[in-house]
């Protein structure tokens, strides 16, 4: 079974500030990591390969240095890594991203399952997974928490819904996003590390994928960030002073006024 | 990311100046061949449809009698005045002429009207966020002077139409069919895509639930339009565009996002971010029944079973509680949460916690409030030993009253607090519980 796992390299922290003079993001010195939600997708891909045989290909879109993330995936059991990288992709929103990734998956061609994390830590949207499935014209199964079986061209799985769980059956190929309940990602093995060191990664450009210029980057992104700002706090705060007893008494008077007591 | 706010020059709409038309022979109408906003009356004077006018000024230019002028609303005029004041040195051309492509694009955008809310349901049970969205949608529809509609899809879900009306919708698009019995991405996105293509709404809102994010993502991709996740603020700008404000980078930064060139503009909003509107049981409206040309055989994904989490007395829902007593790292250990439970019991509240507490294993994840936990807006939120990391604040700052108890006077939690006490929560909370008991006892005696 051939499995494609889509991942994203994200900043290791969300502690990003705005330079108030230039109104731009301060991102210096922030390390990049594999999006934590994607580590469950990688692990599930490797586990399914171990169960059913086949190959795990990791796919990411990003700058040239995202190759480090691909090598980390090979350390934990993935077979191949493909980096889709091109200046033309800069500024792509989720719609343009799903377009690029689906073009890359079409080029990979022989796949049975596409797996992604449920969302990224930086963008937090969860929109790229369903977007890829829609573009590939295959079903999407969100928030999978357990894969029971894949046989006879069908996958039986359990997925999380807001009210609890749901048991679903979907044909393969399909796209699924996984929730973190699905597994506990393994640590890299020594053998994996050796393999990653010598692994040859594939790099594809916009041209390699036959990408239409007007469908990627800023031109291909219908959403447009008009303004960024630091969150405002508008609440009038009142500090209750005095001894503990006085503070507590003052607070309880307030609670009385609010008819809580 | 774009960094600067760009103020767009309003284009205005064309208006006939009473008594100046010379009935030249419908030159203005022929100039308006793209937007088709002009009809001629029997006297040969133009009647301009403001809802169709795109502000291209072609009619103004072609009119031999200077009988048509551009009209601006007071808000638009204010922006024009401001822009004029800024540009005293560099005299810019009045209003740039639109290219043929720009005119075509504007005409296309103008064809989209109305605000839609997707009513989410599971086995007929509506997700409350749908009604919150109708509340927000009503405000957007009012500023645009357009209809507020809801979209109800499912099996035997007609009851949700009446409920939509009672929360402010004036029209419901209903698709009731066995293929929609359980949520599956494919039939649902195809249904909504069909409705949007047919009726062309300008704004479509979804709850940022598991289902809503999945569905909206598929619909937006199919339509190749913009979708903004987890909006915390929605408003209409001077050009009638939807301003979508959302937290980015775990809430450290807020971003305002526009979908300028495509329609509909689509957003998801988390539950409890928007206030619940008042229900009006006398509300009525029109139901438009629609069906899609599709059979069960067209869909290969099957839902075999839904296993609902048992709602035993043990399970709590911090998202719906009206009073929350929430503990952070400052509670020092799992055993100290009993102190919070006692206060919660006394004031009819529920115990919640911060991410650090879940990571330390002191409380289960279902109690977590914040960006990666639940978003809450209770009447009262009591933060005990919570420093107030931004990712926590974004999940609770909409609470009506916030009471913060923390040892560090500089803790950010005090910036959002209504009332603050600098002190050790583990010592202060038992005093509060005790004091409340005293007050109760006094009342009982006095009353």
Query: Does residue B374 sit in the same domain as residue B288?
Result: no
> What's the number of domains chain B is made of?
3
Contacts of B184 in chain A (CB under 8 A): 139, 168
Query: Does residue B133 sit in the same domain as residue B93?
Result: no
Query: Does residue B277 sit in the same domain as residue B146?
Result: yes
Q: What is the CATH number of the domain that holds B389?
A: 3.40.50.1220
Query: Does residue B343 sit in the same domain as residue B270?
Result: no
- Lowest mean pLDDT segment, chosen from A15-29, B327-341, B387-401: A15-29
| B313, part of any domain | no
To the nearest whole Å, the CA of B93 is away from the closest chain A CA by 24
Q: What is the CATH number of the domain that holds B62?
A: 3.30.70.20
pTM: 0.81
Contacts of A119 in chain B (CB under 8 A): 213
| B142, part of any domain | yes
The structure tokens listed for B161 are: 């139409």
Mark yes or no for CB contact B228/A223 under 8 Å.
Answer: yes
Contacts of A126 in chain B (CB under 8 A): 213-214, 217, 229
| B390, part of any domain | yes
pLDDT for res B381: 96
pLDDT for res A129: 96
* Per-residue pLDDT tens over the stretch B383-438: 999 999 988 998 999 899 999 999 999 999 999 999 999 999 999 999 999 999 99
Last residue of a domain, one of B48, B72, B103: B103
Of the residues B309, B395, B403, B419, the best mutation for testing chain A's interface (the one with the most A CB atoms within 10 Å of its CB) is B419
- Is residue A22 pLDDT above 70, yes or no? no
Name the percent of chain B lying above pLDDT 70.
94
Contacts of B302 in chain A (CB under 8 A): 168-170
| B8, part of any domain | no
To the nearest whole Å, the CA of B273 is away from the closest chain A CA by 15
Query: Does residue B52 sit in the same domain as residue B182?
Result: no
For B301, the closest of A131, A139, A230 (CB atoms) is A139
Query: Does residue B94 sit in the same domain as residue B234?
Result: no
Beta-strand relationship, B68-71 and B13-16: antiparallel
* Per-residue pLDDT tens over the stretch A190-221: 999 999 999 999 999 999 999 998 999 888 99
Mark yes or no for CB contact A222/B1 under 8 Å.
Answer: no
Query: Does residue B332 sit in the same domain as residue B291?
Result: no
Query: Minimal CA–CA distance to A38: which of A116, A113, A129?
Result: A116
Q: H-type helices in B200-330, by residue range?
A: 210-223
Beta-strand relationship, B253-259 and A2-7: unpaired
d(CA A223, CA A226): 9
Query: Does residue B237 sit in the same domain as residue B155?
Result: yes
Residue with the larger pLDDT of the pair A232 and B137: B137
- Is residue A180 pLDDT above 50, yes or no? yes
| B95, part of any domain | yes
d(CA B352, CA B323): 10
pLDDT for res A15: 67
Q: What is the CATH number of the domain that holds B187?
A: 3.40.50.620
Query: Does residue B354 sit in the same domain as residue B212?
Result: no
- Is residue B19 pLDDT above 70, yes or no? yes
* Per-residue pLDDT tens over the stretch A43-70: 999 999 999 999 999 999 999 999 999 9
Which chain B residue lies closest to A216 (C-alpha atoms)? B224
Contacts of A27 in chain B (CB under 8 A): none
pLDDT for res B18: 86
Mark yes or no for CB contact A133/B218 under 8 Å.
Answer: yes
- Is residue B2 pLDDT above 50, yes or no? no
Contacts of B417 in chain A (CB under 8 A): 235, 237
Mark yes or no for CB contact B249/A226 under 8 Å.
Answer: no
pLDDT for res A229: 84
Contacts of A166 in chain B (CB under 8 A): 182, 303, 305-307
d(CA B118, CA B319): 21
Judge whether A122 and B249 are in contact, CB under 8 Å.
yes
| B312, part of any domain | no
Q: Give the domains, in start order, of chain A with CATH numbers.
A: 2-215 (3.40.50.620)
Structural domain of residue B93, as residue ranges?
Answer: 13-103
| B306, part of any domain | no
Name the percent of chain A lying above pLDDT 70.
93
Mark yes or no for CB contact B185/A237 under 8 Å.
Answer: no
Query: Does residue B332 sit in the same domain as residue B388?
Result: yes
Query: Does residue B185 sit in the same domain as residue B257?
Result: yes
For A237, the closest of B221, B304, B415 (CB atoms) is B415
Beta partners for A176? A115, A141
Which chain A residue lies closest to B255 (C-alpha atoms)? A228
Residue B84, Cβ neighbours under 10 Å: how many? 11
| B434, part of any domain | yes
The 3 state secondary structure assigned to chain A is CEEEEEECEEECCCCCEEECCCCEEECCCCCEEECHHHHHHHHHHHHHHHHHCCEEEEEEECCHHHHHHHHHHHHCCCCEEEEECCHHHCCCCHHHHHHHHHHHHHHHCCCCEEEEECCCCCCCCCCHHHHHHHHHCCCEEEEEEEEEEEECCEEEEEEEECCEEEEEEEECCEEEEECHHHCCCCCCCHHHHHHHHHCCCEEECCCCCCCCHHHCCCCCCCEEEEEEECCCCCCCCEECCCCHHHHHHHHHHHHHHCCCC
Query: Does residue B148 sit in the same domain as residue B72?
Result: no
* Per-residue pLDDT tens over the stretch B121-144: 999 999 999 999 999 999 999 999
Quote ipTM for the complex: 0.88
Burial B116-147 (b: 16+ CB within 10 A, else e): bbbbbbbeeebbebbbbbbbbbbbbbeebebb
- Is residue B313 pLDDT above 60, yes or no? no
d(CA B309, CA B211): 17
């Amino acid at each position: 079974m051939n499995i494609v796992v889509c991942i994203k390299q994200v900043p290791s922290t969300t502690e990003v500030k705005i330079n108030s003079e230039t109104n731009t993001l301060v991102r210096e010195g922030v390390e990049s990591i594999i999006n934590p939600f994607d580590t469950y997708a990688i692990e599930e891909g490797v586990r399914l390969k171990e169960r059913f045989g086949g190959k795990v290909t990791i796919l990411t879109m990003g700058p040239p240095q995202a190759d480090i993330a691909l090598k980390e995936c090979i350390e934990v059991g993935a077979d191949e890594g493909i980096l889709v990288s091109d200046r033309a992709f800069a500024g792509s929103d989720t719609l343009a991203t799903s377009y690029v990734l689906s073009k890359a998956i079409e080029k990979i061609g022989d796949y049975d399952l596409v797996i992604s994390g449920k969302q990224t830590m930086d963008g937090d949207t969860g929109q790229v997974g369903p977007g890829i499935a829609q573009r590939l014209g295959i079903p999407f199964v969100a928030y999978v928490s357990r894969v029971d079986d894949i046989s006879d061209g069908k996958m039986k799985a359990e997925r999380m819904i807001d009210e609890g769980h749901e048991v679903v059956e979907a044909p393969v190929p399909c796209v699924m996003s996984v929730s973190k309940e699905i597994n506990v990602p393994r640590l890299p093995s020594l053998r994996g590390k050796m393999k990653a060191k010598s692994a040859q990664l594939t790099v594809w450009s916009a041209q390699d994928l036959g990408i239409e210029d007007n469908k990627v980057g800023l031109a291909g992104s219908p959403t447009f960030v008009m303004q960024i700002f630091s969150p405002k706090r508008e609440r009038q705060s009142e500090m209750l002073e005095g001894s503990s007893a006085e503070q507590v008494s003052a607070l309880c008077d307030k609670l009385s006024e609010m008819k809580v007591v | 990311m774009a960094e600067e706010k760009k103020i767009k020059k309003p284009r205005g709409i064309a208006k006939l100046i009473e008594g100046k038309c010379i009935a030249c022979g419908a030159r203005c109408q022929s100039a308006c061949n793209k937007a088709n906003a002009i009809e001629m009356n029997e006297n040969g004077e133009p009647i301009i449809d403001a809802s169709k006018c795109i502000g291209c000024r072609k009619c103004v230019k072609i009119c031999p009698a200077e009988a048509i002028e551009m009209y601006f609303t007071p808000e638009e005029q204010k922006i024009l005045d401001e822009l004029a004041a800024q540009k005293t040195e560099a005299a810019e051309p009045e209003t740039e002429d639109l290219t043929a492509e720009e005119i075509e694009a504007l005409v296309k955008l103008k064809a989209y009207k109305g605000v839609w809310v997707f009513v989410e349901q599971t086995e007929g049970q509506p997700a409350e966020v749908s009604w919150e969205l109708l509340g927000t949608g009503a405000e957007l529809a009012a500023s645009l002077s357009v209809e507020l509609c809801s979209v109800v899809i499912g099996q035997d879900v007609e009851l949700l139409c009446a409920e939509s009306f009672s929360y402010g919708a004036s029209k419901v698009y209903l698709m009731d069919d066995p293929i929609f019995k359980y949520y599956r991405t494919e039939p649902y996105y195809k249904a909504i895509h069909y409705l949007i293509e047919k009726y062309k709404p300008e704004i479509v809102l979804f709850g940022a639930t598991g289902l809503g994010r999945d569905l909206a993502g598929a619909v937006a991709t199919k339509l190749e339009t913009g979708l903004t996740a987890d909006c915390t603020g929605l408003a209409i700008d001077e050009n009638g565009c939807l301003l979508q404000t959302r937290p980015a980078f775990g809430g450290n930064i807020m971003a305002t996002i526009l979908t300028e060139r495509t329609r509909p503009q689509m957003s998801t909003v988390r539950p409890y971010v928007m206030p619940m509107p008042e229900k009006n049981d006398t509300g009525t409206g029109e139901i438009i029944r629609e069906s899609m040309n599709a059979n069960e055989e067209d869909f290969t994904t099957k839902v075999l079973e839904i296993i609902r989490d048992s709602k035993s007395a043990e399970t709590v829902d911090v998202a719906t509680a009206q009073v929350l007593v929430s503990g952070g790292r400052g509670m020092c250990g799992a055993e100290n949460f009993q102190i919070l439970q006692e206060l919660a019991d006394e004031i009819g509240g529920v115990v919640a916690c911060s991410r650090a507490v879940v990571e330390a294993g002191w409380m289960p994840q279902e109690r977590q409030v914040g960006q990666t936990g639940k978003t809450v807006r209770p009447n009262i939120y009591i933060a005990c030993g919570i420093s107030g990391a931004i990712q926590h604040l974004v999940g609770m700052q909409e609470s009506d009253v916030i009471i913060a108890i923390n040892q560090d006077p500089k803790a950010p939690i005090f910036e959002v607090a209504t009332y603050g006490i600098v002190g050790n929560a583990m010592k202060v909370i038992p005093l509060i519980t005790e004091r409340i008991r005293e007050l109760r006892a006094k009342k009982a005696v006095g009353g």
